[in-house]
Structure 1
Amino acid sequence: MLLINIFTVVLLVPVLVESLEPALNDDVLGLIVFKADLVDPDAKLSSWNEDDENPCNWVGVKCYPRTSRRSFNRVSELLLTNFYLSGHIGTKSLLSLSFLSLLSLSNNNFTGSISPLLSQLESLRFLDLSQNGLSGPIPREFFQQCTKSLRAVSFANNYLTGSLPDSLSSCSSLETLNLSSNQLSGQLPSGLWFLSSLRSLDLSDNQFEGEIPMGVENSFALKAINLSQNKLTGLLPQNIGNCMLLRTIDFADNFLYGSLPESMRKLGFCTSLSLGGNSLTGEIPEWIADMKSLEIIDISANNFSGLISNSLGSLRSLKEMNLSKNVLTGRLPESLLNCVNLMSLDVDHNLLTGGFPSWIFKLELKRISLSGNRLTGTVEFPPTATASYGTLQVLDLSFNLLSGEIPFIVGNFGSLQVLNLSSNSLTGSIPASVGRLNTTLVIDFSHNQLNGSIPSDIGGAVSLQVLRLENNFLTGIVPTGIENCSSLTSLDLSRNNFTGPIPAAFSNLTNLESIDLSINQFNGSLPKQLTNLSHLSTFNVSYNHLQGVLPVGGFFNTIPASSVAGNPSLCGSVVKHACSDVHNKPIVLDPHSSDSSHGSLSSDILHKRIVLSISSFIAIGAGVFIALGVVTVSILNLLARASMENSAAAPKKSGGDDFSHSHSTTEANYGKLVMFSGHADFTSGTQALLNKDCELGRAGFGAVYRTNTKEGSFVAIKKLNLSCLIKSREIFEREIKELGQISHPNLVALLGYYWSPSLQLLINEYICGGSLYKHIHEGQSKSCLSWEERFNIVLGTAKGLAHLHQLNIIHYNIKSTNVLIDGSGDPKLGDFGLARLLLVLDRYTLSRKTQSALGYMAPEFACQTVKITEKCDVYGFGILTLEVVTGKRPAEYMEDDVVVLCDLVRRALDEGSVEECIDHNLHGNYPVEEAIPVVKLGLICASQVPSNRPDMEEFVLMHKNFFIFASPSIPPHVGNNCFTLLGQK
């Protein structure tokens, strides 16, 4: 019998082998067909050969070992990760791999959709198609027909769209599901938590919305859940604590609200809790200590309030703690010293108070961020060796109220990469020990009160990439040793008092991308070697005392004029100052400007210029020249007047105008008249311009007359003083036409102009209500304005000025005589843009032309090192606001004293008596809760420091929301400026 059985087996072996051969060929054939659909740029699959008996030695292919009888030499795994393959996934060809248990095609360039046929791979346990270019929805059939063997699916990092199919709950054997970083949307299916075998769920970085479905406690096997970076709303799952195996929880960056569910205290195995970027509220609970395995806690960017719980010190496994961007108060608890494994501590942008917690350096921290709080006192580092000296990489104490000096021992932090002490009140000098920070990439000491010079040892910080020292009181020269900081990409030394030449050593810093040396006392010429800095994109040396020729080449070929402005002795094409024709600036006197007792500031500037820059000989010659000029202008005016009287009624038409609706009239005898829209025939003729009875007023740029047109309407015509004005007709017309295109309900419209070499006129709309000055200070109109009218005048003027600033136009001459009130009581700002007509736009000429605006002029006009910007207008507007509310002039001249309105109001605010400053003519008929904030806004605009003044757009927003200090709609940086100024009073 035994012999018969042996004989039978011997006979059957060839039959068994023959029956296996087709199966082996099926695997080879299936993979060859699969390869045929692919693009293989690096020939990764070159070992795949259809003549092979089996594919087990092919790259990326694994087969079952010999110990497996049934599936011996059958393909079990296909691992083609990072092969740079592209094309569509040929699912049908893979169906022949009937023993395939793992398919990984991740990190390739496959496109197309996911085929539902993948669910027919009956032996498949692990499917990874992540990091490709797959698109379209997830087919419903894929999960509905998934096999009982399927354990893990990853479609992460693709372009999948649509909702998550309800059929997902059918895949009961699924343990891991990763659909992160796609474009999936809709609500999460309610059956999600019925996957009783689910251990890891990652749906992060999609567009899921709605509430998190209830029933998470049914997924009792869950160990990791990540729903971050979606649009989920509602409360955190209240019963999440019943998933007691949870290790990782990440619900960050959604719209969740409410407090932490107390059931979380059961999660004793949880190592990572990330809830940042939501709207969660409440206090940090004491029971947080029950989550004793926590290594990472991130509740940043929420609305948690109250004290930081001492119980956090019980989390001895804690490595990273991020409580930043909340409203936490009180002190940092010293109990954190028990967190001996803590490496990162971030509590920035809260409301923490108290002294600087020097005890934190006893921990082996790598990152400390306490910025944006209210910490006070001095910065103290332990004098003896501590753990942090060797481990600390980031120290950020910026935006606090710290004072005192920077400790010399700061150089002991041997691993420090970022040192940020900016925006405090630190004093003293920069310690020489910073030269020992040879691993530091960023040093930021800006916006403090540091003095002294940059230490010569700074060159020891050889890894330095960013050095910011702006807005201090630093002096001296820049040490040449800075050239050793060869990695430097950004250098900001602006707004200090540095002197001496700009070092040629800067040219050795070949990685520099940005240099700001503006508003200092640098002198000498610009080193020509700077043109070798090939990476430089920003270079600002404005408002120094530089001289000589601007270098040519490199970034200097495209440098904006603003980057070198305020250096009057520089020459070159950029500054429009020819180097071969350098002369002292001549005296420019305006015979039409009136002598005013308010002009002491301008007189001082004029006297200084005469004494310092004009010799007696040149003064005599200039006087003769001016006398001749006055005579010449007078004769030309007489001729022009006679000519216009003779022919004003019969103008000859001419073409050629840039405006589609303009009307242009030219007469050979007297010049060119252009109206931007429609026609205007002056019935009283241009004789009205010489008639005193028609004069409305005079200012630095000329007299204003009223005249009527043939249609019966009135216009206001400004006769420009010729002194200092542009003489070129082309330039004059170009500037005027740009101003003529400006249209805003709170700006006086420019209707046209007249130009001749001897007479230049601007034709404006006529505003019947007169000036704001008249309504506040003169005659029967004096102070008759109601509070509502004053409020609207301030707001309307702000809107008009904001519109000018959007067009990059600085007014230069904000005052109540330039604000006109129309028949509806609305304000219109006039005389804008006239400074653009000046031949030379500098402080001296502007102060002469705007001398009647004394009291409105920003302090920058008296400081040669500060740039004149839109913030000068903001200052004048702030004074105007105070004038409207108080009814007082910007400066009142007594017998032996001058009362400055801004100082008067600020002092009253300090003393708590600001209501006494409000115009008594209002007789108390105004809401105090509105008036006082408007006064404060005026003071903010009139800050002595330009950077503290808001932009006009910001003011409009603040004025509309006059309850700014309680309003969450105001931009944070605006609020900070307001609080800073009012804190300083």
Structure 2
Amino acid sequence: MRIILVIILFFVCLSSSSWVKSLSPSLNDDVLGLIVFKADIQDPEGKLSSWNEDDESPCNNWVGVKCNPRSNRVSDLVLDGFGLSGKLGRGLLQLQFLRKLSLVRNNLTGPISLSFSLLSNLRVLDLSENSFSRPIESEFFRQCGSLQSISLAKNKFSGQIPESLGSCSTVTLLNFSGNQFSGLLPSGLWSLQGLRSLDLSDNLLEGEIQGIGGLSNLRGISLRKNQFTGGVPDGIGDCLFLRSVDLGENSLYGGLPSTMQKLALCNALVLCKNGFTGELPEWIGEMRSLETLDLSENNFSGQIPDAIGKLQSLKVLNVSKNGLTGIMPESLSNCLNLLVLDISHNSLTGDLPSWVLKLGLQQVLFSDNGLSGSMDSVLASSTENSRRKLVILDVSQNKLSGEIPSAVGDCSGLQLLNMSRNSFLGSIPANIGQLKTLEILDLSENQLNTSIPLEIGSAISLKELTLEKNSLGGNIPNSIGNCSSLMSLSLANNEISGSIPTSLAKLAYLQIVDFSFNNLTGNIPKQLANLVHLQSFNISHNQLNGELPAGGFFNTIAPSAVSDNPSLCGSPVNKSCLTVLPKPLVLNPNSTDATPGTFSQSFHHGKKILSTSTLIAIGAAASIFIGVIAITVLNLRVTASTSRSAAAHAYFGGNDFSQSPTTDGNSGKLVMFSGEPDFSTGAHALLNKDCELGRGGFGAVYRTMLKDGRSVAIKKLTVSSLVKSQEDFEREVKNLGKVHHGNLVALEGYYWTSSLQLLIYEFVSGGDLYKHLHEGSGGKTLHWNERFNIILGAAKGLAHLHQMNIIHYNLKSSNILIDSSGEPKIADYGLARLLPMLDRYVLSSKIQSALGYMAPEFACRTVKITEKCDVYGFGVLALEVVTGKRPVEYMEDDVVVLCDMVRGALEEGKVEECVDARLQGKFPAEAAIPVMKLGLICTSQVPSNRPDMAEVVKILELIRSPSEDQDDFK
């Protein structure tokens, strides 16, 4: 009530200046203004809890508030990173003595009001890193008073920068970067003679850069990543105090004006990604203070000038992706402070300079030139200390030759080594395994001709290993399984033999494997099917044999990736794998055993073992035996059919799935997307209640087993009267069968008759999320990291569905399955597509168990059902996982809706209390609270206010980053 009275008093004060003068400052100005400001925004983290309207002054203990000790009036309001949201109200107008207003890194929205110009004493205005939007009013800066620093960076402002900006004659810092400002720059900008720092980067500004010479006090200018055209104005040479110039990523052209050489204090000149032409000028050597020179991705030609060696302070030189020719000037060896040298993607020639590693460089990038010579002399002439400093060495796509020197193993700090597309020969140095920080090793397209060293397994940080297109022999070393971070492994087009090592199955992050065009033999280790991140596995053109691994990525492997392995079998190579049987027992007439009729399992080469009459007799006996078995089976079928339902009979057809497309009541069509339709206990599974896994709105699910021992889950649809025709049903199911993602339950096949439809899924062994959260599955409580991974995994799976234009419609915790490694997999997606029409009332009746997850638009016929319905369900799911509470809880005399409960707690600053009590404080608040906020955003009543799932994934990745290494939450 008191807050309401304060707000009423505030508006009365605004309307009557006499009232303002009659009230004491402690009541009508600072306290009043700040309380009204607080009432207009949301403070979910309770950072402003110390602001109390009962205090006579805010100068004692109000957080973020600083006062002038003489006047006891508020001078600074700094609320950076407080997590505030909402729009700025007029409460701040009461702070008449405010000199600094900083609201950086919040989530404030809306436009900024013209009334801010009434803060006549304001010197610093910093609203960067918020979500302010819309164009700025044209007169906003007309009365900018004594403003010295203005930062609106990293918001969503659009439209033109107002011409009134020219009125801010006292401004020294101007930062409008990271917005969506467009159009021409205001002409008055160039009259701000006191301006020292100007940053308009990352916008949509256009036109020519004119009048820069008028900013004679300018220290730094960044116009990077806009759409400016024309050349660099000559007037830039009049800005003698310039220390930093960044005009990169525009559409500037022409040569560089010679007046730039007057910028003797400039230490950073960045002109990359433009259209500049001509030769690099000799006068560049007069800019003696340069530490960074980036002229990359232009159209410069000619040689690198000798004068560049005068730049004694130079640390970064990047002239990559131009048309430079000639040799590298020896004078560069005088740049003793150089750390990064990038001359890649030019047409430079000559020998690789021997001095290049003497300088203690951290990054050497010489790729795609015409450099020749060997690496021996370069490494030999460097010191051990300089080799240790090297982080990136890229000499790829040149004309280098000789052996790779063993001294490369002394570069202990290397993270990237790329020597591909040269003429290196001989062996890969064994001590390359000493490079414990190496992440990328590319030696492809050379003439290396020995085996891969066993020591490669000691390079434990490797993420990419590329050795393709050499003449390497020997085996793939088992030790490679020690490179636990490996994501990409390419050994294609070599002469490698032996088998694929089982140790590859230990590489949990492996995504891309290419062993094509080698001499590999043996079986493919079945353990490779457990590599959940595998995206590509090319073993074509080898001599591998046996059956492809079953499950995981190998269920969908492309035929081209396994082609030209004559003894390989499985569905992708369109070749059935024969069952391995014991050797037949045959009568051996040549046996020396005294007992007639001795049986033997051996054959004698060149001798006829069985006579023709014997073979005929055996054949006749076999025919009689098979006939007896067939009659027995038929009798058993007849007996069994009397006790089975008609639906079960239609399903099994005598336990013989038919591949026929007929759809009569006695036979059906079974299709498996990968492998043979080979069931061992299918009949028992669907007739035995013990094998039932559960029931949902679309049908019951049973577990059964294939003859290879692999379990599958079979969903028996109970919406037969609504299911589409066979043709439509098969088309939709086959489309769903093409959906593959690590966080989605894979659809492996289907069965159709007019009266019965079955969907065959991979079996996920860990149970569903609902049981883990609410029924204590296994007596174990999910810790925070497990919960977060479930939320993130579900988001990724849902985002993939939406990318494939598939709406789930039925997202809930019981449809999130947990596999043996704790990874979530979304089930039951896309089933509504099997219905002849999407009637939301029919659909609602089928998924009524999803109460609490359903978006409000389901209740309105006129609102289109879109992916945003899934986003709503995901938001509820995220809240359910964090809080451990059901979407709707029925109490004795009340009904608690989870979304409303969390939203209320957020408004009261008590949202942290909503986290599942079973976590007992073992969770990072900096992650749990943002996840709950995200859940509330996803459950917005207005569909357009909900983010896309791709955006949700990005937000979750950002939330995860600060706390991903916190073991306390496991």
- The structural deviation recorded for 1:252 is 0.4
Aligned residue runs from structure 1 range 126-275, under 5 A: 126-147=124-145, 149-213=146-210, 215-275=211-271
- The structural deviation recorded for 1:273 is 0.3
Query: Match for residue 805 of structure 2?
Result: none
Q: Secondary structure at the match of 2:481?
A: helix
Query: Match for residue 87 of structure 2?
Result: 88
Query: Match for residue 382 of structure 1?
Result: 379
Q: Secondary structure at the match of 2:139?
A: helix
Match of 2:473 among 472, 475, 487: 475
- 8 Å contact 2:484–2:509 — kept in the other structure? yes
- Give the direction of change, closer, same or farther, for the CA distance of 1:449–1:57 in structure 2 (3 Å limit): farther
CA–CA distance in structure 2, aligned partners of residues 83 and 60 of structure 1: 10
- Give the direction of change, closer, same or farther, for the CA distance of 1:530–1:581 in structure 2 (3 Å limit): closer
Query: Match for residue 560 of structure 1?
Result: 558
1:569 and 2:572 aligned: no
Letter in 2 for 1:76: S
1:64 and 2:77 aligned: no
Q: Secondary structure at the match of 2:134?
A: strand
Query: Match for residue 308 of structure 2?
Result: 312
Query: Match for residue 499 of structure 1?
Result: 497
Structure 1 residues 177-186 or 55-64, which shifts more?
A: 55-64
Q: Secondary structure at the match of 1:28?
A: helix
Query: Match for residue 520 of structure 1?
Result: 518
Q: Secondary structure at the match of 1:368?
A: strand
- The structural deviation recorded for 1:463 is 1.1
Cα deviation, 1:273-311, whole Å, max 9, x if unaligned, reads 000011111211111121111110001011111111111
Query: Match for residue 819 of structure 1?
Result: none
- Give the direction of change, closer, same or farther, for the CA distance of 1:504–1:58 in structure 2 (3 Å limit): same
Q: Secondary structure at the match of 2:38?
A: helix
Letter in 2 for 1:377: G
Structure 1 residues 267-276 or 130-139, which shifts more?
A: 130-139
Cα deviation, 1:12-38, whole Å, max 9, x if unaligned, reads xxxxxx988434552112111111111
CA–CA distance in structure 2, aligned partners of residues 431 and 102 of structure 1: 61
Query: Match for residue 54 of structure 1?
Result: 57
Query: Match for residue 285 of structure 2?
Result: 289
- The structural deviation recorded for 1:545 is 0.9
Structure 1 residues 433-442 or 18-27, which shifts more?
A: 18-27
- 8 Å contact 2:68–2:75 — kept in the other structure? no
- The structural deviation recorded for 1:480 is 1.0
- Give the direction of change, closer, same or farther, for the CA distance of 1:44–1:62 in structure 2 (3 Å limit): closer
- The structural deviation recorded for 1:382 is 3.2
CA–CA distance in structure 2, aligned partners of residues 574 and 105 of structure 1: 59
Query: Match for residue 578 of structure 2?
Result: 580
Query: Match for residue 361 of structure 1?
Result: 357
Letter in 2 for 1:436: Q
Q: Secondary structure at the match of 2:279?
A: coil
- The structural deviation recorded for 1:402 is 1.1
CA–CA distance in structure 1, aligned partners of residues 562 and 51 of structure 2: 67
Q: Secondary structure at the match of 2:489?
A: strand
- Give the direction of change, closer, same or farther, for the CA distance of 1:509–1:303 in structure 2 (3 Å limit): same
> For this pair of structures, how many residues does the alignment match?
564
- 8 Å contact 1:492–1:517 — kept in the other structure? yes
- 8 Å contact 1:106–1:132 — kept in the other structure? yes
How does the TM-score come out when normalised to structure 1? 0.56
- 8 Å contact 1:55–1:61 — kept in the other structure? no
CA–CA distance in structure 1, aligned partners of residues 440 and 427 of structure 2: 18
Q: Secondary structure at the match of 2:234?
A: coil
Q: Secondary structure at the match of 1:382?
A: helix
- Give the direction of change, closer, same or farther, for the CA distance of 1:234–1:581 in structure 2 (3 Å limit): same
- The structural deviation recorded for 1:573 is 2.4
CA–CA distance in structure 2, aligned partners of residues 418 and 341 of structure 1: 22
Match of 1:538 among 536, 539, 563: 536
CA–CA distance in structure 1, aligned partners of residues 264 and 385 of structure 2: 29
Query: Match for residue 34 of structure 1?
Result: 37
- The structural deviation recorded for 1:580 is 2.2
How many percent of aligned residue pairs carry the same amino acid? 54
- The structural deviation recorded for 1:581 is 7.1
CA–CA distance in structure 2, aligned partners of residues 350 and 60 of structure 1: 57
- The structural deviation recorded for 1:389 is 0.8
CA–CA distance in structure 2, aligned partners of residues 505 and 59 of structure 1: 61
CA–CA distance in structure 1, aligned partners of residues 580 and 573 of structure 2: 13
Q: Please, what is the CA RMSD of the aligned residues?
A: 2.1
- 8 Å contact 1:44–1:59 — kept in the other structure? no
Query: Match for residue 487 of structure 1?
Result: 485
- 8 Å contact 2:227–2:251 — kept in the other structure? yes
Query: Match for residue 18 of structure 2?
Result: none
- 8 Å contact 2:290–2:313 — kept in the other structure? yes
Cα deviation, 1:659-715, whole Å, max 9, x if unaligned, reads xxxxxxxxxxxxxxxxxxxxxxxxxxxxxxxxxxxxxxxxxxxxxxxxxxxxxxxxx
CA–CA distance in structure 2, aligned partners of residues 76 and 110 of structure 1: 22
Letter in 2 for 1:32: I
CA–CA distance in structure 1, aligned partners of residues 36 and 228 of structure 2: 44
CA–CA distance in structure 2, aligned partners of residues 57 and 299 of structure 1: 53
- 8 Å contact 1:277–1:300 — kept in the other structure? yes
Q: Secondary structure at the match of 1:239?
A: helix
Aligned residue runs from structure 1 range 495-894, under 5 A: 495-580=493-578
- The structural deviation recorded for 1:561 is 2.1
- The structural deviation recorded for 1:560 is 2.1
How does the TM-score come out when normalised to structure 2? 0.57
Q: Which runs of 5+ in 2 are unaligned?
A: 1-20, 582-605, 609-726, 732-970
Query: Match for residue 403 of structure 1?
Result: 401
- The structural deviation recorded for 1:499 is 0.5
- The structural deviation recorded for 1:557 is 2.0
Letter in 1 for 2:443: F
Query: Match for residue 898 of structure 1?
Result: none
- 8 Å contact 1:514–1:537 — kept in the other structure? yes
- The structural deviation recorded for 1:515 is 1.1
- 8 Å contact 2:139–2:162 — kept in the other structure? no
CA–CA distance in structure 2, aligned partners of residues 521 and 37 of structure 1: 72
Structure 1 residues 532-541 or 285-294, which shifts more?
A: 532-541
- 8 Å contact 2:358–2:383 — kept in the other structure? no
Q: Secondary structure at the match of 1:134?
A: strand
- The structural deviation recorded for 1:190 is 2.2
- The structural deviation recorded for 1:78 is 1.2
Aligned residue runs from structure 1 range 77-116, under 5 A: 77-90=76-89, 92-116=90-114
Cα deviation, 1:73-116, whole Å, max 9, x if unaligned, reads x11111111112111111x1100011111111111111111211
- 8 Å contact 2:109–2:130 — kept in the other structure? yes
Letter in 2 for 1:231: Q
Larger of the two Rg values belongs to structure = 1
CA–CA distance in structure 2, aligned partners of residues 536 and 57 of structure 1: 60
Letter in 1 for 2:374: T
Cα deviation, 1:596-635, whole Å, max 9, x if unaligned, reads xxxxxxxxxxxxxxxxxxx9x9xxxxxxxxxxxxxxxxxx
- The structural deviation recorded for 1:582 is 9.9
Cα deviation, 1:806-855, whole Å, max 9, x if unaligned, reads xxxxxxxxxxxxxxxxxxxxxxxxxxxxxxxxxxxxxxxxxxxxxxxxxx
- Give the direction of change, closer, same or farther, for the CA distance of 1:378–1:59 in structure 2 (3 Å limit): farther
